[in-house]
Amino acid sequence: MKNQNTLYLTTPGTVLARDHLTLRVEIEKQTKLAVPIHHLESICAFGQVVITPPAMALCWDHQVAIHYHTENGYLLARVTGSGDTGYLLRRAQYTAADTPAHAWAIARQIIAGKLQNSRTNLLRSKREAASDEDQKQLTFAARETARLIRQLGQATPPPDGKSLRETLDPIRGIEGIAAKLYFESVTPMLKQQRDEFAFLIRTRRPPRDKINCLLSFLYALLRHDCLAALTTAGLDPYVGWLHATRPGRPAAALDLMEEFRPWLADRLALTLVNRRQIEPKHFREREGGAVEFTEKGRKEVIQAWQKRKQTVLHHPLFKQEILLQQLFPIQARILARHLRGDIPDYIPFIPK
Protein backbone atom coordinates (compact mmCIF):
# COMPACT_ATOMS: atom_id res chain seq x y z
CA MET A 1 0.00 0.00 0.00
CA LYS A 2 1.24 3.46 -0.81
CA ASN A 3 1.96 5.55 2.28
CA GLN A 4 0.49 8.99 2.61
CA ASN A 5 3.32 11.48 2.12
CA THR A 6 2.22 15.01 2.91
CA LEU A 7 4.22 18.18 2.37
CA TYR A 8 3.41 20.78 5.05
CA LEU A 9 4.10 24.45 4.19
CA THR A 10 3.91 26.66 7.30
CA THR A 11 6.39 29.53 6.92
CA PRO A 12 4.81 32.84 5.76
CA GLY A 13 6.11 33.89 2.36
CA THR A 14 6.92 30.35 1.21
CA VAL A 15 6.77 29.79 -2.56
CA LEU A 16 6.27 26.33 -4.03
CA ALA A 17 7.67 26.22 -7.57
CA ARG A 18 8.16 23.57 -10.24
CA ASP A 19 11.45 22.21 -11.56
CA HIS A 20 10.62 19.53 -14.16
CA LEU A 21 9.11 16.65 -12.08
CA THR A 22 10.21 18.14 -8.78
CA LEU A 23 8.64 20.71 -6.46
CA ARG A 24 10.95 23.32 -4.91
CA VAL A 25 10.16 24.95 -1.58
CA GLU A 26 11.59 28.49 -1.68
CA ILE A 27 11.81 30.98 1.20
CA GLU A 28 13.18 34.45 0.41
CA LYS A 29 14.22 33.14 -3.04
CA GLN A 30 16.38 30.40 -1.53
CA THR A 31 15.57 26.72 -2.13
CA LYS A 32 15.02 25.00 1.22
CA LEU A 33 13.72 21.65 -0.03
CA ALA A 34 13.18 19.76 -3.28
CA VAL A 35 10.65 16.92 -3.45
CA PRO A 36 10.00 14.65 -6.48
CA ILE A 37 6.30 14.74 -7.29
CA HIS A 38 5.96 10.93 -7.16
CA HIS A 39 6.92 11.05 -3.46
CA LEU A 40 3.83 13.07 -2.59
CA GLU A 41 0.15 12.36 -2.16
CA SER A 42 -0.97 15.74 -0.84
CA ILE A 43 0.17 19.25 0.12
CA CYS A 44 -1.00 21.20 3.16
CA ALA A 45 -0.44 25.00 2.99
CA PHE A 46 -0.98 27.22 6.03
CA GLY A 47 -1.40 30.98 5.86
CA GLN A 48 0.52 33.15 3.40
CA VAL A 49 1.92 30.51 1.05
CA VAL A 50 2.15 30.83 -2.75
CA ILE A 51 1.93 27.83 -5.09
CA THR A 52 2.84 28.79 -8.65
CA PRO A 53 0.63 27.75 -11.59
CA PRO A 54 3.29 25.36 -13.01
CA ALA A 55 3.58 23.69 -9.61
CA MET A 56 -0.22 23.37 -9.45
CA ALA A 57 -0.30 21.81 -12.92
CA LEU A 58 2.32 19.25 -11.88
CA CYS A 59 0.23 18.36 -8.83
CA TRP A 60 -2.96 18.00 -10.88
CA ASP A 61 -1.24 15.81 -13.49
CA HIS A 62 -0.12 13.43 -10.71
CA GLN A 63 -3.33 13.55 -8.64
CA VAL A 64 -1.63 15.33 -5.72
CA ALA A 65 -4.28 17.27 -3.80
CA ILE A 66 -3.54 20.77 -2.46
CA HIS A 67 -5.22 21.90 0.78
CA TYR A 68 -5.24 25.56 1.78
CA HIS A 69 -5.65 26.36 5.50
CA THR A 70 -5.63 29.44 7.69
CA GLU A 71 -2.69 29.73 10.08
CA ASN A 72 -4.84 28.06 12.76
CA GLY A 73 -5.60 25.09 10.53
CA TYR A 74 -9.13 25.92 9.35
CA LEU A 75 -9.65 24.41 5.89
CA LEU A 76 -10.31 27.09 3.26
CA ALA A 77 -10.11 25.17 -0.01
CA ARG A 78 -9.06 21.91 -1.60
CA VAL A 79 -7.78 21.77 -5.16
CA THR A 80 -7.50 18.58 -7.22
CA GLY A 81 -7.12 17.67 -10.87
CA SER A 82 -9.66 15.95 -13.12
CA GLY A 83 -9.67 12.28 -14.04
CA ASP A 84 -11.55 10.75 -11.10
CA THR A 85 -13.55 7.75 -12.36
CA GLY A 86 -15.18 6.47 -9.14
CA TYR A 87 -18.71 7.34 -10.25
CA LEU A 88 -20.40 4.05 -9.22
CA LEU A 89 -18.88 4.16 -5.74
CA ARG A 90 -19.88 7.79 -5.22
CA ARG A 91 -23.37 6.99 -6.49
CA ALA A 92 -23.63 4.32 -3.76
CA GLN A 93 -22.29 6.84 -1.26
CA TYR A 94 -24.92 9.43 -2.18
CA THR A 95 -27.68 6.83 -2.02
CA ALA A 96 -26.58 5.76 1.47
CA ALA A 97 -26.45 9.39 2.59
CA ASP A 98 -30.02 9.96 1.36
CA THR A 99 -31.42 6.72 2.83
CA PRO A 100 -32.22 7.30 6.53
CA ALA A 101 -31.85 3.65 7.62
CA HIS A 102 -28.49 3.23 5.86
CA ALA A 103 -27.17 6.57 7.09
CA TRP A 104 -28.26 5.59 10.62
CA ALA A 105 -26.37 2.28 10.41
CA ILE A 106 -23.12 3.93 9.26
CA ALA A 107 -23.44 6.77 11.79
CA ARG A 108 -24.01 4.31 14.64
CA GLN A 109 -20.81 2.42 13.76
CA ILE A 110 -18.86 5.69 13.60
CA ILE A 111 -20.17 6.80 17.01
CA ALA A 112 -19.55 3.34 18.50
CA GLY A 113 -15.90 3.52 17.44
CA LYS A 114 -15.50 7.01 18.86
CA LEU A 115 -17.11 6.16 22.20
CA GLN A 116 -15.11 2.96 22.65
CA ASN A 117 -11.85 4.79 21.92
CA SER A 118 -12.88 7.65 24.23
CA ARG A 119 -13.52 5.19 27.05
CA THR A 120 -10.12 3.55 26.48
CA ASN A 121 -8.48 6.97 26.71
CA LEU A 122 -10.32 7.74 29.97
CA LEU A 123 -9.35 4.38 31.49
CA ARG A 124 -5.71 4.84 30.53
CA SER A 125 -5.66 8.29 32.13
CA LYS A 126 -7.39 6.89 35.23
CA ARG A 127 -4.56 4.40 35.70
CA GLU A 128 -2.05 7.26 35.49
CA ALA A 129 -4.06 9.73 37.64
CA ALA A 130 -2.05 11.57 40.28
CA SER A 131 -4.89 12.20 42.75
CA ASP A 132 -7.99 10.47 44.08
CA GLU A 133 -10.15 13.33 42.81
CA ASP A 134 -8.84 12.92 39.26
CA GLN A 135 -9.30 9.17 39.43
CA LYS A 136 -12.86 9.60 40.66
CA GLN A 137 -13.75 11.96 37.80
CA LEU A 138 -12.18 9.71 35.17
CA THR A 139 -13.81 6.59 36.63
CA PHE A 140 -17.22 8.27 36.49
CA ALA A 141 -16.71 9.43 32.88
CA ALA A 142 -15.52 5.97 31.79
CA ARG A 143 -18.46 4.26 33.51
CA GLU A 144 -21.00 6.63 31.97
CA THR A 145 -19.39 6.23 28.55
CA ALA A 146 -19.70 2.44 28.89
CA ARG A 147 -23.40 2.92 29.67
CA LEU A 148 -23.82 5.05 26.56
CA ILE A 149 -22.04 2.40 24.46
CA ARG A 150 -24.56 -0.19 25.69
CA GLN A 151 -27.41 2.20 24.97
CA LEU A 152 -26.08 2.73 21.45
CA GLY A 153 -25.80 -1.01 20.93
CA GLN A 154 -29.43 -1.49 21.92
CA ALA A 155 -30.68 1.31 19.66
CA THR A 156 -32.85 0.40 16.69
CA PRO A 157 -33.47 2.51 13.60
CA PRO A 158 -36.69 4.51 13.66
CA PRO A 159 -39.56 3.23 11.49
CA ASP A 160 -39.83 4.13 7.84
CA GLY A 161 -41.22 7.54 7.07
CA LYS A 162 -38.96 9.46 9.43
CA SER A 163 -36.79 12.19 7.97
CA LEU A 164 -33.00 11.85 7.92
CA ARG A 165 -32.69 14.30 10.79
CA GLU A 166 -35.35 12.56 12.89
CA THR A 167 -33.59 9.25 12.26
CA LEU A 168 -30.14 10.45 13.27
CA ASP A 169 -30.97 12.79 16.16
CA PRO A 170 -31.29 10.03 18.85
CA ILE A 171 -27.83 8.60 18.24
CA ARG A 172 -26.39 12.08 17.74
CA GLY A 173 -27.79 12.82 21.20
CA ILE A 174 -25.87 9.88 22.66
CA GLU A 175 -22.69 11.13 21.02
CA GLY A 176 -23.30 14.64 22.37
CA ILE A 177 -23.68 13.41 25.97
CA ALA A 178 -20.52 11.31 25.64
CA ALA A 179 -18.57 14.26 24.20
CA LYS A 180 -19.63 16.47 27.12
CA LEU A 181 -18.48 13.84 29.64
CA TYR A 182 -15.21 13.40 27.80
CA PHE A 183 -14.28 17.07 27.50
CA GLU A 184 -15.14 17.64 31.17
CA SER A 185 -12.39 15.10 31.90
CA VAL A 186 -9.63 16.72 29.83
CA THR A 187 -8.10 18.66 32.75
CA PRO A 188 -7.90 15.54 35.00
CA MET A 189 -6.00 13.85 32.16
CA LEU A 190 -3.29 16.53 32.30
CA LYS A 191 -0.32 15.81 34.56
CA GLN A 192 1.69 18.97 33.79
CA GLN A 193 0.90 22.65 33.08
CA ARG A 194 -2.68 22.42 34.32
CA ASP A 195 -3.05 26.08 35.07
CA GLU A 196 -1.77 27.11 31.65
CA PHE A 197 -3.80 24.50 29.73
CA ALA A 198 -6.93 24.24 31.88
CA PHE A 199 -9.92 23.11 29.82
CA LEU A 200 -13.14 24.99 30.55
CA ILE A 201 -15.29 24.57 27.45
CA ARG A 202 -14.75 23.50 23.84
CA THR A 203 -14.33 26.61 21.68
CA ARG A 204 -13.60 26.81 17.94
CA ARG A 205 -13.34 29.37 15.17
CA PRO A 206 -11.55 30.86 16.93
CA PRO A 207 -10.23 28.85 19.89
CA ARG A 208 -10.22 30.94 23.08
CA ASP A 209 -7.48 29.20 25.05
CA LYS A 210 -4.31 27.19 24.54
CA ILE A 211 -5.71 23.68 24.93
CA ASN A 212 -8.52 24.40 22.46
CA CYS A 213 -6.01 25.87 20.02
CA LEU A 214 -3.88 22.71 20.28
CA LEU A 215 -6.86 20.38 19.86
CA SER A 216 -8.26 22.34 16.91
CA PHE A 217 -4.92 22.31 15.11
CA LEU A 218 -4.49 18.56 15.61
CA TYR A 219 -8.05 17.99 14.41
CA ALA A 220 -7.22 20.03 11.30
CA LEU A 221 -4.23 17.77 10.57
CA LEU A 222 -6.38 14.70 11.17
CA ARG A 223 -9.14 16.04 8.93
CA HIS A 224 -6.63 16.63 6.16
CA ASP A 225 -5.38 13.04 6.29
CA CYS A 226 -8.93 11.65 6.35
CA LEU A 227 -9.99 13.87 3.46
CA ALA A 228 -7.01 12.76 1.38
CA ALA A 229 -7.68 9.09 2.20
CA LEU A 230 -11.34 9.30 1.19
CA THR A 231 -10.45 10.97 -2.09
CA THR A 232 -7.83 8.32 -2.85
CA ALA A 233 -10.42 5.61 -2.15
CA GLY A 234 -12.76 7.22 -4.71
CA LEU A 235 -15.24 8.69 -2.22
CA ASP A 236 -16.62 12.22 -2.03
CA PRO A 237 -15.26 13.72 1.22
CA TYR A 238 -18.07 16.28 1.30
CA VAL A 239 -21.04 13.89 1.60
CA GLY A 240 -21.32 12.07 4.93
CA TRP A 241 -23.77 10.30 7.22
CA LEU A 242 -23.27 11.40 10.82
CA HIS A 243 -22.39 15.02 10.06
CA ALA A 244 -24.93 17.00 8.11
CA THR A 245 -23.94 17.85 4.55
CA ARG A 246 -23.49 21.58 3.96
CA PRO A 247 -21.70 23.52 1.21
CA GLY A 248 -17.95 23.55 1.86
CA ARG A 249 -18.14 21.13 4.79
CA PRO A 250 -16.17 17.86 4.36
CA ALA A 251 -18.83 15.80 6.14
CA ALA A 252 -17.44 12.36 5.24
CA ALA A 253 -13.95 13.40 6.40
CA LEU A 254 -15.46 14.63 9.68
CA ASP A 255 -17.23 11.26 10.00
CA LEU A 256 -14.09 9.21 9.35
CA MET A 257 -11.97 11.20 11.77
CA GLU A 258 -14.30 10.60 14.74
CA GLU A 259 -12.78 7.22 15.63
CA PHE A 260 -9.28 8.74 15.48
CA ARG A 261 -9.93 11.78 17.68
CA PRO A 262 -9.58 10.26 21.18
CA TRP A 263 -6.68 7.84 20.84
CA LEU A 264 -4.68 9.76 18.22
CA ALA A 265 -5.30 13.53 18.28
CA ASP A 266 -6.38 13.91 21.93
CA ARG A 267 -3.72 11.52 23.24
CA LEU A 268 -1.03 13.36 21.29
CA ALA A 269 -2.25 16.70 22.69
CA LEU A 270 -1.98 15.33 26.25
CA THR A 271 1.49 13.96 25.55
CA LEU A 272 2.76 17.25 24.12
CA VAL A 273 1.53 19.19 27.16
CA ASN A 274 2.59 16.61 29.75
CA ARG A 275 6.10 16.36 28.26
CA ARG A 276 6.31 20.16 27.91
CA GLN A 277 6.98 19.87 24.20
CA ILE A 278 4.25 22.49 23.85
CA GLU A 279 4.32 25.37 26.33
CA PRO A 280 2.65 28.82 26.65
CA LYS A 281 5.52 30.38 24.67
CA HIS A 282 4.24 28.53 21.57
CA PHE A 283 1.02 30.59 21.52
CA ARG A 284 -0.05 34.18 21.06
CA GLU A 285 -3.33 35.94 21.74
CA ARG A 286 -4.90 38.21 19.19
CA GLU A 287 -7.11 41.19 19.83
CA GLY A 288 -10.57 39.92 20.69
CA GLY A 289 -9.36 36.89 22.63
CA ALA A 290 -8.51 34.42 19.85
CA VAL A 291 -5.52 32.20 20.63
CA GLU A 292 -3.26 30.91 17.86
CA PHE A 293 0.07 29.15 17.47
CA THR A 294 3.33 30.89 16.74
CA GLU A 295 5.16 29.61 13.68
CA LYS A 296 7.48 27.60 15.94
CA GLY A 297 4.49 26.15 17.77
CA ARG A 298 2.88 24.96 14.54
CA LYS A 299 6.11 23.32 13.44
CA GLU A 300 6.48 21.52 16.78
CA VAL A 301 2.98 20.07 16.49
CA ILE A 302 3.41 19.05 12.84
CA GLN A 303 6.73 17.34 13.60
CA ALA A 304 5.14 15.44 16.49
CA TRP A 305 2.18 14.50 14.26
CA GLN A 306 4.43 13.18 11.52
CA LYS A 307 6.52 11.22 14.02
CA ARG A 308 3.40 9.74 15.61
CA LYS A 309 2.19 8.53 12.22
CA GLN A 310 5.33 6.40 11.90
CA THR A 311 4.24 4.26 14.86
CA VAL A 312 3.72 0.58 14.07
CA LEU A 313 0.28 -0.80 15.01
CA HIS A 314 -1.48 -4.13 14.78
CA HIS A 315 -4.68 -4.02 12.73
CA PRO A 316 -7.16 -6.42 14.39
CA LEU A 317 -9.22 -6.92 11.22
CA PHE A 318 -6.33 -7.77 8.89
CA LYS A 319 -4.15 -9.25 11.65
CA GLN A 320 -0.96 -7.60 10.44
CA GLU A 321 1.45 -4.85 11.43
CA ILE A 322 1.02 -1.51 9.69
CA LEU A 323 2.23 2.05 10.04
CA LEU A 324 -0.25 4.36 11.71
CA GLN A 325 -0.30 6.59 8.63
CA GLN A 326 -1.66 3.65 6.63
CA LEU A 327 -4.76 3.52 8.82
CA PHE A 328 -6.45 6.45 7.08
CA PRO A 329 -6.53 4.87 3.60
CA ILE A 330 -7.30 1.44 5.11
CA GLN A 331 -10.37 2.73 6.94
CA ALA A 332 -11.47 4.69 3.87
CA ARG A 333 -11.27 1.50 1.81
CA ILE A 334 -13.25 -0.44 4.44
CA LEU A 335 -15.92 2.23 4.18
CA ALA A 336 -15.85 1.95 0.37
CA ARG A 337 -16.22 -1.85 0.59
CA HIS A 338 -19.28 -1.45 2.79
CA LEU A 339 -20.86 1.04 0.39
CA ARG A 340 -20.25 -1.34 -2.52
CA GLY A 341 -22.01 -4.10 -0.56
CA ASP A 342 -18.90 -6.26 -0.06
CA ILE A 343 -19.24 -6.23 3.75
CA PRO A 344 -22.42 -5.74 5.83
CA ASP A 345 -21.17 -2.95 8.14
CA TYR A 346 -18.50 -0.30 8.37
CA ILE A 347 -15.91 -1.49 10.93
CA PRO A 348 -14.22 1.36 12.87
CA PHE A 349 -10.64 0.96 14.09
CA ILE A 350 -10.36 0.26 17.82
CA PRO A 351 -6.71 -0.18 18.89
CA LYS A 352 -5.91 -2.90 21.39
Nearest CA-CA partner of 114 in 163, 167, 169, 181: 181
Asked if residue 113 lies in contact with residue 349, where contact means CB atoms within 8 angstroms, the answer is yes
Give the count of beta carbons closer than 10 Å to the beta carbon of residue 333. 17
* Residue type for position 268: L
Q: What is the pLDDT of residue 1?
A: 33
In terms of CATH architecture, what is 87-340? Up-down Bundle (1.20)
pLDDT at position 83 is 57
Helix (H) or strand (E) holding 127: helix 100-127
End-to-end CA distance of the chain: 22
Confidence (pLDDT) at 85? 54
Q: HSE (CB half, 13 Å, CA atoms) of 266?
A: 26
Pair type for strands 6-9 and 291-293: unpaired
pLDDT digits (tens, 9 = 90+) for 44-96: 888 889 999 999 999 888 878 888 877 766 778 778 776 555 678 899 999 99
How do residues 269-303 score in pLDDT, each as one tens digit? Answer: 999 999 999 999 999 888 777 888 888 999 999 99
pLDDT at 349: 93
Min mean pLDDT across 44-53, 114-123, 342-351 is at 44-53
CB atoms under 10 Å from CB of 295, counted, come to: 14
Residue 45: predicted pLDDT: 87
For residue 314, what pLDDT is reported?
Answer: 86
Q: For residue 324, count other CB atoms closer than 10 A to its CB.
A: 15
pLDDT of residue 72: 65
Domains of the chain, residue spans: 6-79, 87-340
Mean pLDDT of the chain: 88
Total-model pTM: 0.79
Please tell us whether the domain made up of 6-79 is placed in CATH 3.100.10.20.
yes
